[in-house]
Amino acid sequence: MSGKYLAATDVNFKSEILDSDKVALVDFWATWCGPCMMLGPVIEELAGDYEGKAVIAKLNVDENPGVAAQFGIRSIPALLVFKNGKVVDQMLGALPKNQISKKIDEHLN
């Protein structure tokens, strides 16, 4: 099931991700990154699957370099899982949906 992911930015990252009371998955990506584009539909599916349970977000690193630098993102796609304002897990590359879901599920209450 496809859903609407949050478009995270340098401006809304703190309020929408770090201050959230939900677990959040953030996909750090760019338009020129082939594997990032392959991961896009998976992120949309996850947004539908976790609607109301977790925040699923994408952050374009070219448009939002501040957050990318803050978390030391050097290669993309990078997937970071946040809980209570802290990074609790991270994954690199265009991973299959079930592998990403497993990481999110590990941090849900």
**Of residues 97, 92, 3, the one with CA closest to residue 55:** 3
**Of residues 46, 12, 14, 11, the one with CA closest to residue 27:** 46
Which one of the listed residues 17, 36, 57, 59 is annotated catalytic?
36
Q: What are phi and psi of 83, to 5 degrees?
A: -145, 130
Task: Order the strands of the 78-83 sheet from edge to edge.
Answer: 6-7, 54-60, 23-29, 78-83, 86-92
Query: Is 60 part of the annotated catalytic residue set?
Result: no
Which one of the listed residues 3, 10, 12, 33 is annotated catalytic?
33
Query: Is 33 part of the annotated catalytic residue set?
Result: yes
Active-site residue set: 33, 36
